[in-house]
Amino acid sequence: MLLCGLVYTNAQIGPLSPLVYRTDESQQFSEFPQAESVSLTLTAVAQFYNSGASPSVSLFYRPLGGVFDKIPMINQDSLWSANLPGEAMVPPAVEYYIYADDGLSSASDPGENPQTKPYIIQICPGDGQNKPPIIVRTPQTEYKSQVPQPQGFTISLSAYVMDSAPPFARSASLYYRQWGETNYRRVAMGHISGIIWSGTIPGVDAQAPRLEYYLEASDGDLVGTAPLLNPEGNPFIIQICDTCSDPCDPPPPPLIQRTSATSALSNTTQPENVDIDITALTADNCFPFVKSARLFYRMANAVDTSYTTIHMRLVSGNLWSGIIPAHDVKNPGIYYYLFATDGEQTGRSPNILNPDQFPYFIPVGTSAATVILRTEATIRLSKEAQLEQKKLAIDVLIYDYSQPTTQTATVYYRRTGSMNEKYAQMSRDLSENRLWHAEILAADVQTPGVDYYVCAEDGTEKVCAPNSGFFHIDVRANPPPVIVHNPVQYATEGQNITISARVFDTTNFVDAVQLHYKNGANSTFISHPMRNNGGEIYAGTIAGSEVKPDSVFYYLYAVDNLGAATKTSHYSFSVDSAQVATVAPNPFTPNNDGFNDYVQFDIPALLQQSGAVHIFNLRGKRIVKITNENKWYGFDENNQLVPPGLYLYMVKINDNVTLSGTLTVIR
């Protein structure tokens, strides 16, 4: 029977072993012969997991057949380095291994029998005779001869240049020609780093049907070539096509996939408290190639749903390995997924956008034929209260380990404290057949919460999660929108009245705002939608035809996307009968001679209500705002007399424009 709902902590069982492995750069030293008596810098990545320990990493080395010597490696951001001294670089080879220790546990690279099976670097003998440099093309350069390259694009070629004795390689050249040409063109190659040199063929010379090239390196005395024999007559070839596109422009992300042994782990139950070795194969045909791989894992029913990261070790070729430590291998199982990166792009396994949502699963410590596990998104529903009247998406991953496999899945649920149980049939995802989905209807999501469990049936057996009881989701009330409004106090008959308000929702979003108004206490309310003027500001208009003596009544109503609604109290404002408004004299002469020195705005309620007169110049700039009186003496806001000319005025009462026009100032 499946045991579900168990919670585990990260309690350790004994000290944890470090993780240590050499870098790609160090691995390259074993792929090609190195020069006698020339020091090499070896680097390694090391990670330590025991708190309070004292980590150290050491390099053990010896000439082939000698006794191992030890030197400490220096740490910089988990990258450890040490110089393999020149006196150790003795033909035919030097052997070495890397050892990590924190005082509580240790590890080495190679991981098994490092003293008897160390890494080997071949050494070219320095017999006192100078020899020409050796040139070996890099994998990305070899690849360009395997796949046609597009016409008109630059082609970068790189190579390893090795020299066994002084004077060492001082220069390198790239010689190329188009198909049918007799003479080669030369491009100087640049020294990139270590033994790597690089040169570029201009795009204008990359023409169909093909290019021919060879490489040359010199130490000042002797010259080496690639190809080694007759390079001019037997050059390397790059096919050029005028209609194809470069498969590496842009370069695709690297591929990473589980080995068959790792895939098989998901098909059988694994024992608790035993390390699990996750291995994967990478593929990358475009430069830059795979630089690192990572394993992400977490315990299936742990309280903490975040993933632990393990840097995988390159075992050989394109095979990578990462260990899930024994103390995290617990019932009911382990979720995991894989990343591989070339430093620019990342490949995933499973190869989906969010592998953490639909990871691989390894069953642990249970004999159940069917395992039901909630997705991370569904688990999160139980971590914080959800809003009432909002549907809940329940997603589970169902793993089958025997025939027949799951045919149906159902989520059973009820309001917390209720005995009225309901159910929703789950549907299987078409692209991910382990994933099943159902929704708890919004009407059933009520305070104080929702209890639920999930069952899977294969026609002969029914398995549920949890095994007994319920998963629980807290539900909190959904507060309605908030309306902040400054009521209108006064209007003039026939005047259009703009009603504005700030409306916001603290939990969801405002779906609609309405203005309801009527003329007189005994009439029927008219409803109009209010428009959003940006942000949280809404506005609506009471038509002038409805603004009649003696009063207008109105209120505001708002509803959110989940149906929670609110409305304001009923407001009213008084309406005066329309009167003739006069603005005179116009023109006027503000020269303090006692005649027509000011213009007067005879407008009802201008002084009784919150009214103001705004004066603008013809460029639309306001030059003065007049409040608490109904006269303008021709001065601006700086108390300076304005120049003669034409001006605009606007009278606003309760933020509503009641009158506007032009004024003429003369002297």
Q: What would the DSSP string read from start to end of 363-420?
A: EBS---SEEEEE-HHHHHHTTSPEETTS-EEEEEEEEE-SSSPP-EEEEEEEETT---
Question: In this predicted structure, what is the pLDDT of residue 532?
Answer: 93
Question: In this predicted structure, what is the pLDDT of residue 420?
Answer: 93
Residue 454 phi, psi dihedral angles, 5° rounding = -125, 135
Nearest 5°: CA angle at 516, between 513 and 521? 160
Tally Cβ neighbours within 10 Å of residue 264.
10
d(CA 601, CA 607) in angstroms, rounded, equals: 10
Report the predicted TM-score, pTM, of the whole model to 2 decimal places.
0.46
Question: In this predicted structure, what is the pLDDT of residue 264?
Answer: 87
d(CA 21, CA 43) in angstroms, rounded, equals: 9
Nearest to 337 by CA among 285, 293, 386, 297: 297
d(CA 593, CA 6) in angstroms, rounded, equals: 96
The single-letter code of the amino acid at 426 is M
Tally Cβ neighbours within 10 Å of residue 90.
18
The single-letter code of the amino acid at 615 is I
Under-50 pLDDT residues of the chain: 1-13
- The helix (H) or strand (E) run that includes residue 379 is helix 376-381
- Residue 397, burial from CB neighbour count under 10 angstroms (0-12, 13-18, 19+): buried
Question: In this predicted structure, what is the pLDDT of residue 304?
Answer: 79
Question: In this predicted structure, what is the pLDDT of residue 642?
Answer: 94
pLDDT in tens, 629-652: 889 999 999 999 999 999 999 888
The gap from C-alpha 248 to its chain's centroid, in whole angstroms, comes to: 24
- The helix (H) or strand (E) run that includes residue 260 is helix 260-264
The residue assigned the tokens 């109503």 is: 557
Residue 88 phi, psi dihedral angles, 5° rounding = -85, -15
Question: In this predicted structure, what is the pLDDT of residue 610?
Answer: 67
